Structure 1
Amino acid sequence: MAGHSKWANIQHRKGRQDAKRGAVFTKLIKEITVAAKMGGADANSNPRLRLAIDKAKGVSVPKDNIENAIKRGTGQLEGVVYEEARYEGYGIGGAAVMVDCLTDNKTRTVADVRHAFSKYGGNMGTDGSVAFQFKHCGTLVFAPGTNEDALMEASLEAGAEDVVSNEDGSIEVSTGPWEFTQVKEALEAAGFKAEFGEVTMKPQNDTVLTGDDALRMQKLLDALDSLDDVQEVYTSAVIED
């Protein structure tokens, strides 16, 4: 790992997500609707839906909202039809940025995303321009001081792909995207509760930004994330205070 603090960066991201909980509700409901539409209403046979429901429960989305979102996805209730769209580009210092959207109007969405990139010092790229720099996977981060040997044994037994110890003492467990929930539950049953966990597009290399560059990059990421049609923003940027 590079010299920057992985743990501090994770805590920073978690704090920002907690602060945006209202917007997170809306995004999760859209994801549940699309997941049910694409893979059916049975979460046991639809890993994308199971993951979306798990995330929704994690931030206390009401049960009725979850059930209605599933019904809209399967056509039992009327609702907006969403399409998936992914846009790629570059931020400050050449940091890779990938933006996943669910939209009912792609023309509007691409214009909004392009405007955010250009206004805050980034550049929108073509399809595939940065996607190769990311890996679709699950990641669970455990606090410094966690028993590494015991966690590694439990993780590999649960079906994790890799366990890495960072310089700051935190430990990161990687999983396949659809194995994330089962690994997380198995580790919790073994007494290991992650401080932070998600299925993400993980950058293969970090772009560390400090000072004004870090502030400018955060403004770009916030602008993209605040767009109504944006579900997730992934970046190789590591923002240091």
Structure 2
Amino acid sequence: MAGHSKWANIKHKKAATDAKRGKIWTRLIKEITVAARMGGGDINTNPRLRLAVDKAADANMPKDNVTRAIQRGTGGLDGANYEEVRYEGYGIGGAAIIVDCMTDNRVRTVAEVRHAFSKFGGNMGTEGSVAFMFKHCGQMFFAPGVDEDKLMEAALEAGADDVIADDEGGFEVLCPPNDFAAIKEKVEAAGFKPEVAEIVMRPDNETTVTGDDAVKMQKLLDALENLDDVQEVFTNVTVDL
């Protein structure tokens, strides 16, 4: 995707995250709870939990909230029993969309996701209908102006798979999802702080939508992201408004 679109979308995402801090905290609490339940409550031996706790710190979540979420996950406190579920579908012009949720009520969640798709011009797909177009990986974005050679050396030595330059001078570092936390720490220790760092479903190919299609697509993505049970939404298009 075009560099200006990429960085505009990254800034838009960060601004949207800041504007919805309460909801972000709720999503992070779910993620911390599930990560602790699946891999234990020690961030040193549970990379998924470590990433979630790091995100909570970036979102200025109080440490007490984090501790309680870990305790709920490990059985120390009572709480809802969340499960992970993924839905796939199509947006404007056949764009591929993946919707990752955490829910304590699958019936409610699938109804809400299906309603959002149909109301805003999309369609729910079957399991596996679009996931093959994406790769599960760790992803870090670095702003234009970073020293390419030094970043590449630091990232590859840390275990990254690839460093990709965009047409505006920014860089994208890709790595195996299971090694993401350790690689991110090593890259940051080398002096490189990513603008955004996440484990994602990264599309193999991307296109940019503009005009009315971009407006419609953004409304669909916003509707999905605003659902209480939705954790992440991934798509293979860049919305250029």
* TM-based fold match above 0.5: yes
**C-alpha distance in 2 between matches for 1:167 and 1:34:** 38
> How far is 1:142 from its partner?
1.0
**C-alpha distance in 2 between matches for 1:54 and 1:216:** 33
Matched residue SS, 1:139? strand
Using the size of structure 1 for normalisation, the TM-score is 0.96
Match of 1:80 in 2: 80
* Greater displacement, 210-219 / 179-188: 179-188
* Greater displacement, 154-163 / 6-15: 6-15
> How far is 1:8 from its partner?
2.4
Contact 2:40 2:74 in 1 (8 A): yes
Match of 2:231 in 1: 231
Equivalent residues in 2 for 1:212-223, closer than 5 Å: 212-223=212-223
Contact 1:6 1:170 in 2 (8 A): no
Whether 2:211 is the aligned partner of 1:211: answer yes
Classify 1:3/1:154 alpha carbon distance in 2 versus 1 (closer, same or farther; 3 Å): closer
**What do you get for the CA RMSD once the two structures are aligned?**
1.3
* Greater displacement, 98-107 / 42-51: 42-51
The AA in structure 1 aligned to 2:60 is: S
**C-alpha distance in 1 between matches for 2:232 and 2:15:** 16
Contact 1:164 1:172 in 2 (8 A): yes
> How far is 1:207 from its partner?
2.6
Matched residue SS, 2:178? coil
1:200-227 per-residue CA deviation (whole Å, 9 max, x = no partner) reads 1111111311011111111111111111
Match of 2:65 in 1: 65
Contact 1:136 1:200 in 2 (8 A): yes
Using the size of structure 2 for normalisation, the TM-score is 0.96
1:112-171 per-residue CA deviation (whole Å, 9 max, x = no partner) reads 000000000000000000011111111111111211011101111111110011111111
Match of 2:131 in 1: 131
> How far is 1:180 from its partner?
1.8
> How far is 1:50 from its partner?
1.1
Matched residue SS, 1:178? helix
Matched residue SS, 1:5? helix
Match of 2:170 in 1: 170
Match of 2:114 in 1: 114
> How far is 1:3 from its partner?
7.0
* Greater displacement, 40-49 / 97-106: 40-49
**C-alpha distance in 1 between matches for 2:208 and 2:162:** 23
Whether 2:4 is the aligned partner of 1:9: answer no
**C-alpha distance in 1 between matches for 2:164 and 2:145:** 14
The AA in structure 2 aligned to 1:98 is: I
**C-alpha distance in 2 between matches for 1:4 and 1:94:** 23
Contact 2:89 2:129 in 1 (8 A): yes
Displacement over 3 Å in runs of 4+: 1-5
Count of equivalent residues: 241
**C-alpha distance in 2 between matches for 1:65 and 1:5:** 35
Q: What are structure 2's unaligned runs of at least 5 residues? A: none
> How far is 1:4 from its partner?
5.9
Match of 1:27 in 2: 27
**C-alpha distance in 1 between matches for 2:53 and 2:95:** 31
Match of 1:190 in 2: 190
Matched residue SS, 2:198? strand
Q: Percent identity?
A: 66
Matched residue SS, 1:69? helix
